Amino acid sequence: MARKRHLSRIAVMQTLFEQGTRSIDCETALERNCAGQSGDADIDFAKTLLKGVLAREEDIRLIVQEHAPGWTLDRMDPVSRYTLLLGCYELLFAKDAPPAVVMNESIEIAKEFGTAESGKFVNGVLNAIAHGEKK
């Protein structure tokens, strides 16, 4: 199950990335991105996450921005930005995985797809969000 959820989170991050760079049909893109995960992603879990992030995107963006001082969302590398949106949603609104799991998953995705510093950056911001700290 854990592997399926990890792959689902990757597919959601990829879909958010695509949606942020061009006009797409998110559901079609998500299905394609899930299929691209060797068909092992949990499509229902991925759809729930994507719908949740999109429904609360404005609030999530504000929360991430608040906990990443000196970094506008546009200044962040795109992988970190979309991984943070997903991680923030899971931490504050989804509540179906423990915070440590959400943070670890987000850090791993950032390390795998982002820059050399993405994992550390995502860790710092999500840790602040999880503990209600404002930097």
- Average pLDDT over the chain reads 92
DSSP letter for 90, please. I
CB 110 within 8 A of CB 119: yes
Taken in order 108, 124, 95, 72, is the CA torsion positive or negative? negative
Q: Which residue has the higher pLDDT, 38 or 6?
A: 6
Interval 33-76: pLDDT, tens: 998 877 688 999 999 999 999 999 999 999 999 999 889 999 99
pLDDT at position 133 over 70: no
Rounded to an integer, what distance in angstroms lies between the CA atom of residue 119 and that of residue 135?
18
Domain coordinates of the chain in residue numbers? 2-130
Interval 9-25: pLDDT, tens: 999 999 999 998 888 89
- The topology (CATH level 3) of 2-130 is N-utilizing Substance Protein B Homolog; Chain A (1.10.940)
pLDDT at position 134 over 90: no
- Whole-number pLDDT of residue 61: 96
CB 11 within 8 A of CB 46: yes
